[in-house]
A and B are shown apart, each in its own frame.
Chain A
Amino acid sequence: GAGVSQSPSNKVTEKGKDVELRCDPISGHTALYWYRQSLGQGLEFLIYFQGNSAPDKSGLPSDRFSAERTGGSVSTLTIQRTQQEDSAVYLCASSLGSDRGDTEAFFGQGTRLTVV
């Protein structure tokens, strides 16, 4: 695609429900990143994929958070049993990846998650 696409753009969910956020990276980008940004805060790293594997999952806040990537393309971030503190904007970015050297990461428009 022309850019990184995320869906939904906004999600309101009840506390305790599961949510799934989707990221469709730029075609050909092997690296994919998930970040979380709470109001007035910087970007908090969640997880990074190189192809389908995740060399670094250190940022996932708890075992309620999981992510997968299939076919080296689309990624989904799943949050189980959502809590109010999960409310934030979830940003996805992609880049050409380690096999193409250092390149900039391009961001999607994000998913604003509100847990009520």
Chain B
Amino acid sequence: EDKVVQSPLSLVVHEGDTVTLNCSYEVTNFRSLLWYKQEKKAPTFLFMLTSSGIEKKSGRLSSILDKKELSSILNITATQTGDSAIYLCAVGGSNYKLTFGKGTLLTVNP
């Protein structure tokens, strides 16, 4: 059974701090790893990492895939209160099924 584990489960920081969120996985026939941000109901897409694209960056957010270690990190620099959300990691495996981790709850205090 495919498995995705995220850490930490929750994190509280102050504005301006840099945070690193972790995602490790066990999946049959790895295809892709995706990061989402969930503020209310619908998760919104951040990044997709594959064997041909192991590093992505958008503004203050960046992500790296380590296929050897079967893991990924999501970095957020100069955090803002608007970054407060649940960050979800998902892995695409056999039959394109997406398996999600439990998420990391990030709280950024002013």
Chain A residues within 8 Å of B, Cβ to Cβ: 31, 33, 35, 41-43, 45, 48, 50, 55-56, 89, 91, 93, 95, 97-98, 102-110, 112
Contact = CB atoms under 8 A, between A and B. Distances in A.
Contacts, number: 63
A45 B92 contact: no
24 contacts: A31-B96, A35-B100, A42-B101, A42-B102, A43-B43, A43-B100, A48-B95, A48-B96, A55-B95, A55-B97, A56-B95, A91-B43, A93-B98, A102-B96, A104-B45, A105-B45, A105-B90, A105-B98, A107-B36, A107-B44, A108-B42, A109-B41, A110-B41, A112-B41
> Taking each of B6, B42, B43, B45, which has the highest tally of chain A beta carbons within 10 Å of its own beta carbon?
B42
Interface residues of B, number: 24
Nearest to A9: B41
A102 B50 contact: yes
A27 B62 CA distance: 30
B97 A91 contact: no
A89 B41 contact: yes
Nearest to B95: A55
Contacts of B97: 33, 45, 48, 55-56
List the 10 closest A-B pairs by CB distance, nearest first: A42-B102, A43-B100, A110-B41, A107-B42, A102-B32, A55-B95, A104-B45, A109-B42, A98-B96, A42-B103
